[in-house]
Amino acid sequence: MGCRPSHITASNRSIVFVWTVVEKCDTRPAITPIMTIKFLCAVAIAILLTAFISCKTTNNTVTAGTTTTTEDRFAQGDRNHDGKLSRDEANDYFVSQIFAGADQNHDGKVTWQEWNVPGSGRSKARFDAADTNKDGSVSLAEAQAYGQKKGVFNKEFTEADTNQDGYVTREEAQAYYASKEGPPR
């Protein structure tokens, strides 16, 4: 109430009246530091929830005991969307997944320091063979070309291709993974 004028005259009586009415009718609570902290926490939680929800890349639906995804690993690997994986498509998909995990600084290339995890037994000679332009790092294209040239996933592909037609269908892939990891969850 320290803002109220101390000298009231006839000319400023209406101003004092309005000031008094506004002062008495102001029902807004005083903002305290605790209220500010609570508000900021609520905003932070809302932002985190939004981030988690927007990171979700699959929509799982359960039908008759099987789980299907609209944007699953098989669909990601099937570049030409023909419903089956060629040897090159499977190789490129798996190499790109391994590459993404190894590229620790996400600069699009893997250095020997990123690739050589202590105790992994990875060969510097194989790394150097994949580094075709000899710049000291392996790009995704170099990694995929090396994987195709060396047949990195040939054994797994051949095991999954049960009808030996040179392609792995979604059903063959599911059966292969079920035999290695158990049924899908």
Average of per-residue pLDDT values in the chain:
74
Q: Is the pLDDT of residue 121 over 60?
A: yes
Mean pLDDT score, 105-134? 90
pLDDT at residue 82, as a whole number: 93
Mean pLDDT score, 27-46? 62
Q: How confident is the model at residue 167 (pLDDT cuts 50, 70, 90)?
A: very high
The per-residue pLDDT for range 47-103, each reduced to its tens digit, is 655 555 444 434 444 444 444 443 488 888 889 999 999 999 989 998 998 899 999
pLDDT at residue 22, as a whole number: 45
Which backbone phi and psi does 16 adopt, to 5 degrees?
A: -65, -40
pLDDT at residue 60, as a whole number: 46
CATH code 1.10.238.10 for 73-181: yes
Residue boundaries of the structural domains of the chain: 73-181
Closest CA to 168 of 156, 152, 182: 156
Cα dihedral 13, 15, 16, 20 sign: positive
Distance CA 74, CA 85 (A): 8
Q: What percent of the chain has pLDDT over 70?
A: 60
